[in-house]
């Protein structure tokens, strides 16, 4: 078995990378290797799965700390893609095996001793791409999910008939052979059953004795309203099949939200930059402002400055639990005309002459001049 690639290398970041750097690198790598962009490319599909798994660990401070200390062994049996970590190693032997290697693992009965016991299936991370609107209002869809499932022909036994499965006569179903060496009891993997603890006389013709097969399943998913970038949804029991009768892992939907042409989001609030003309800003006006649910009337008072913000209550995003709702913030952007005809220039010149010196501007530059004089004495 080839050694698993380092999670930091998978995402292309250093071990000391910040959360922001990890997220940025993950987005770039996930988009590059996404299966939808690489149809039929098995290599890209595997790379995408590795990227998802790496991000699932390194984006979680607790899991990242465990990974930094113990590496991939911290997540064996629990899956690394999205929440299988339950505190690290499962027993005393695992701790020694993770730190010192296989010799200590065998010495204390760790590692392969549990090979024939029920094992929980791995968790599956899945990037869920949503439009801005789908994230705000929720979304129902169907996804294609490649995963390992229990063979439906033999029921996971590896043989069609129960009588074709026997306990290994060498290790008596333990999967290991124990030998005493001084004060230690050393356990090695059984050479006859290869640690499985059982012998299949007539393997299932469909799964060839493995008890599982790789399938692509269609799965209906419901995304609640209000999810945001990086939000994770856990679907219990929808991950990889377990081994030796163990439970399935879980599926984690990792939300990625596309940018909107006009709106931006910060938490539960939605922001909109609204352009208006200079006469509208000076004289005041009534606007029909777009929101996520339609147009809303907004009154702009006379003398409004560029950058001034107005709040439209209740036109933001609902909390995923439905307990609260944000607002829409409208930021005014006063537009300066670029092209003026002769008549427009004449009228603006007349307005400038009638307005005379701008008192506010005069006061500002007067204060600046005084500050400069004081600084230079």
What pLDDT is attached to residue 178?
Answer: 77
Q: Please give the backbone phi and psi of residue 289, each rounded to the nearest 5 degrees, phi first.
A: -95, 130
Rounded-to-integer distance, Cα 269 and Cα 316, Å: 5
Identify whether the C-beta of residue 96 lies closer than 8 Å to the C-beta of residue 107. yes
What pLDDT is attached to residue 372?
Answer: 47
Q: Provide the pLDDT confidence category of residue 306 given band limits of 50, 70 and 90.
A: very high
User: pLDDT tens digits for 64-110?
Assistant: 888 888 888 777 644 333 333 333 333 333 333 333 334 344 434 44
Of 261, 280, 272, whose CA–CA distance to 336 is shortest? 280
Domain spanning 260-336, CATH class: mainly beta
| 7-254 carries CATH number 1.10.287.110 | yes
- Backbone Cα Rg of the chain: 32
What pLDDT is attached to residue 150?
Answer: 82
What pLDDT is attached to residue 100?
Answer: 39
| Res. 137: pLDDT tops 90 | yes
Of 23, 21, 26, whose CA–CA distance to 10 is shortest? 26
What pLDDT is attached to residue 116?
Answer: 60
User: pLDDT tens digits for 107-132?
Assistant: 344 443 445 677 888 999 999 999 99
What pLDDT is attached to residue 62?
Answer: 82
Q: Provide the pLDDT confidence category of residue 203 given band limits of 50, 70 and 90.
A: confident
Q: What would the mean pLDDT of 291-298 be, rounded to a whole number?
A: 96
Q: What would the mean pLDDT of 34-63 be, rounded to a whole number?
A: 85
More confident: 200 or 133: 133
**Residue ranges covered by each domain of the chain:** 7-254, 260-336, 347-377
User: pLDDT tens digits for 148-190?
Assistant: 888 877 877 778 787 888 888 888 777 788 776 555 667 788 8
| Res. 54: pLDDT tops 60 | yes
């Amino acid at each position: 078995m080839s050694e698993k690639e380092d999670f930091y290398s998978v995402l292309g970041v250093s071990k000391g990378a910040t959360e922001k750097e990890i997220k940025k690198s993950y987005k770039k790598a996930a988009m590059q290797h996404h299966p939808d962009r690489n149809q039929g490319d098995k290599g890209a599909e595997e790379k995408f799965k590795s990227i998802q798994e790496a991000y699932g660990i390194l984006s979680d401070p607790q899991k990242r700390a465990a990974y930094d200390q113990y590496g991939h062994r911290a997540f064996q049996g629990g899956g690394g893609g999205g929440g299988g970590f339950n505190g690290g190693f499962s027993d005393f032997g695992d701790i020694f095996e993770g730190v010192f290697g296989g010799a200590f693992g065998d010495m204390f009965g760790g590692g392969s001793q549990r090979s024939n016991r029920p094992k929980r299936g791995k968790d599956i991370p899945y990037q869920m791409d949503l439009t801005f609107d789908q994230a705000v209002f929720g979304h129902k869809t169907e996804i294609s999910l490649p995963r390992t499932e229990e063979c439906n022909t033999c029921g996971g036994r590896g043989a069609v008939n129960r009588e074709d499965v026997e306990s290994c006569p060498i290790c008596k179903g333990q999967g290991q052979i124990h030998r005493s060496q001084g004060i230690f009891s050393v356990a090695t993997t059984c050479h006859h059953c290869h640690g499985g603890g059982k012998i299949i006389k007539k393997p299932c013709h469909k799964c060839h004795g493995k008890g599982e097969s790789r399938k692509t399943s269609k799965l209906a998913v419901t995304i609640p309203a209000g999810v945001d970038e990086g939000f994770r949804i856990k679907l219990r029991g929808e991950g990889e099949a377990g081994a030796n009768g163990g439970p399935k892992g879980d599926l984690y939907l990792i939300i990625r939200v596309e940018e909107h042409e006009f709106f931006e989001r910060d938490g539960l609030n939605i922001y909109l930059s609204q352009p208006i003309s200079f006469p509208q800003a000076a004289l005041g006006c009534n606007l029909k402002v777009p929101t996520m649910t339609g147009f809303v009337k907004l009154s702009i008072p006379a003398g409004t400055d560029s950058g001034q913000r107005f709040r439209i209550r209740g036109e933001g995003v609902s909390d995923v639990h439905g307990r609260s709702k944000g607002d829409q913030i409208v930021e005014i952007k006063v537009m300066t005309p670029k092209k003026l005809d002769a008549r427009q220039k004449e009228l603006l010149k007349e307005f400038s002459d009638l307005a005379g010196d701008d008192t506010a501007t005069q006061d500002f530059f007067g204060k600046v001049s005084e500050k400069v004089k004081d600084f230079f004495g």
